[in-house]
Amino acid sequence: MTSIRGHRITVEPGAEHVRVVHDGLLLAESRRPLVLRETGCPVRYYLPPEDVRTELLTPSDTRTHCPFKGDASYWSLPGAADLAWVYEEPKAGVEAVRDHFCFYETELIAR
């Protein structure tokens, strides 16, 4: 857990079955996501790269900076920019998400 000036982030292993589909194309599926909870943000699922069809994605030029998590690089599909992001060098306290993919749109599958 990271807590800075009232801003809190937790990262823990999840038991959810997470799928990522864009325009009918399966981009990722994982039963071992990391669940990131952050003050003021929706719950996010970070998926191991082995569970992501990285051959379908291309790195984009987009970069963002989060003062709590670090610098993120983005991945796209043709015609769909910046669908996912990755922290290659996350800050202390969120190291577990290193190289994991997070998508804007995820689907949780009921068990």
pLDDT tens figures, 61-93? 999 999 999 999 999 999 899 999 999 999 999
Kindly state the average pLDDT of the residues 7-21: 94
How much is the pLDDT for 6? 78
**List of residues 6+ apart from 89 with CB closer than 8 A:** 70, 71, 98
- pLDDT tier at 2, thresholds 50, 70, 90: low
pLDDT of residue 107: 79
Domain boundaries, the chain: 2-109
- Record the pTM: 0.92
Condensed to tens digits (0 to 9), the pLDDT of residues 37-62 reads 999 999 999 999 999 999 999 999 99
pLDDT score, position 1: 59
Answer for the pair 97, 71: CB distance below 8 angstroms, yes or no.
no
> What is the topology classification, in CATH, of domain 2-109?
2.170.150
Our CA dihedral for 43, 49, 51, 56, rounded to 10 degrees, sits at: 100
